[in-house]
Amino acid sequence: MPRQSLRKALALQLDPELRSEPGLSLTNKLLMALIIIAATAAIIETETAISRGYDLQFRLFEICVGVAFVIEYLARLWIVPESPQYAEKSWPRVRYAVSFAAVVDLLAIIPIVAAFGGGGSVVLRFLRLLRIIRLAKLGRMSRAWNDIVTAIHSRRHELLLTFGLATILMLISSTLLYWAEGDLQPDKFGSIPRSFWWAVVTLTTVGYGDVYPITALGKFLSGLVAVAGIGLIAMPTGILASAFSDVVQARKRAKAP
């Protein structure tokens, strides 16, 4: 098989956007299974009651997984010219290498260093935990993920505005509770930065209960902030729901005859 034909065939196996048929290729299905198994193994390995005595097996498995992901990374780098997104651009492989998807692929390879390194240093432990990031590789296997990314990008200005509004509201709330509760609870509300934790927990409607006002004024202000938090959470939810609906409808119209 000519080199270009082989590259195109491999691209059809690795890039869902190039496939005319619905669903994933067999190669991508196998990669998805490998990603899930590798992440599961990384989680299990942190529980010594289960992994004790199997260090060698976990290390060998990690080496095999790492080698598989290295091969996948190199294969994706090779097929870049087949992608319409990069084919017409200069230095297509370099452009792909600095893309978000390629960086995630590269980060998924790095933990193999821990498998060869051994030991229990903080760096090696971090590299082992970095294996969980491999779950992010699942996103490229689904066209629905691209829809989500497109939806977020299309509403980025509205989302940034919402984030700015949330930050301002948190600062105002922190300041108010510092004024109302700072003298009575200096360890919790003795400064605006200390009050900020309470503001985050209250405005996001999490409500851990570890920090709360005890004065009548503080409780009144806390109630107002809690009600404001309901609207604050609803804003980005509504924006994203509307954006995602628009993207899905656009995809349906594009497929319609």
How does pLDDT run across 1-57, given as a tens digit for each residue?
Answer: 566 688 888 888 888 777 777 677 888 888 888 888 888 888 888 788 888 888 888
What is the spatial distance between Cα 23 and Cα 201, in angstroms, rounded to a whole number?
41
Look over the chain and give the mean of its residue pLDDT values, rounded to a whole number.
Answer: 81
Give 172's pLDDT tier (boundaries 50, 70, 90): very high
Tokens representing 73 are 């990374």
> Is residue 92 a contact partner of residue 80, using CB atoms and an 8 Å limit?
yes
User: Taking CA 69 as the corner, what is the angle to CA 65 and CA 72, rounded to the nearest 5 degrees?
Assistant: 140
Best CA proximity match to 218, nearest among 230, 235, 202: 202
Average pLDDT for 87-113 = 81
pLDDT value of residue 116: 65
pLDDT value of residue 176: 92
> Is residue 111 a contact partner of residue 128, using CB atoms and an 8 Å limit?
yes
Give 85's pLDDT tier (boundaries 50, 70, 90): confident
- pLDDT of 200 > 60? The answer is yes
What is the spatial distance between Cα 138 and Cα 24, in angstroms, rounded to a whole number?
12
> What predicted TM-score, i.e. pTM, was given to this entire model?
0.64
Domains of the chain plus CATH, in order, are: 3-141 (1.20.120.350), 156-255 (1.10.287.70)
